[in-house]
Amino acid sequence: MTRIDAKFAQLRAEEKKAFVAYIMAGDPDFDSSMEVLRGLPAAGVDVIELGIPFTDPMADGPTIQLAGQRALEAGQTLQKTLDMAAAFREADDTTPIVLMGYYNPIYNRGVDKFLEDASAAGIDGLIIVDLPPEEDDELCIPAQKAGLNFIRLATPTTDDKRLPKVLTNTSGFLYYVSITGITGAAEAQAGDVRPEVARIKAHTDLPVIVGFGIKTPGAAEEIASVADGVVVGSAIVDLIGKGKSPAEVLDFVRGLAEGAHRA
């Protein structure tokens, strides 16, 4: 059982929905990002998604793209991202960390070395947005063998013919993208999300966590009420991009977490 599996088992036992927060590693700089990362669990975050900055983030909107650029300009690397996770683990051995990003930096490092280093740093799962199920032998299967969850995304265009393929070899949880398009775009609507979550749950026992378009505590509560939890990324990253202090960012995160946990 991974930390992710254990966290969702705990949440089920407590009849609580999950709050997942995304930040870009190294944004706007290593120390500030590290301060936010360390503060997330106390702010109510159940699972942390830690973005790997990349030069060509094709699935991300302007907010996340700019965060990646800031991080890269400040000297963030894949190694420094793993270093952040390892430093976080010195004081917290229970909160799951999922690395989210693109395959290129992992491929350049070498899959075997990356998985060895990620496991040593305390990483629990991966979301690699540009590796479809047809490429499972590249990273997904080796990651599972190394004890890491491989988390897949489903979207409103993932029909019943495609869904079983998406769910094959997926573990930890399924990330449902509530709207079509890039991150940070339109707002999610519970009325649209509810039937889609029910459809997915007919095919899997995995928790279904909904992301994209969730920007307020009220929206977090509304969407969490029709799913197993919510992910917020762009709204948090936007505050960081506006120069808010780690304390201000964590206050905002706390409000979102409270919203999700009210559901």
Looking at 29, 31, 46, 60, which residue is catalytic? 60
- Determine phi and psi for 180, rounding to 5 degrees: -80, 150
Write out the two tokens for 182: 């890039």
The C-alpha atoms of residue 114 and residue 91 are separated, in whole angstroms, by 23
DSSP structural state of residue 60: -
CA 17, distance to chain mean position in Å, is 15
Say how many C-beta atoms besides its own lie within 10 A of residue 142's C-beta: 16
- Closest CA relative to residue 230, chosen from 178, 158, 191: 178
- Closest CA relative to residue 245, chosen from 25, 69, 28, 80: 28
Known active-site residue 93: no
The C-alpha atoms of residue 11 and residue 13 are separated, in whole angstroms, by 5
Looking at 27, 46, 49, 238, which residue is catalytic? 49
Say how many C-beta atoms besides its own lie within 10 A of residue 158's C-beta: 20
Known active-site residue 49: yes
**Residues tagged active-site:** 49, 60
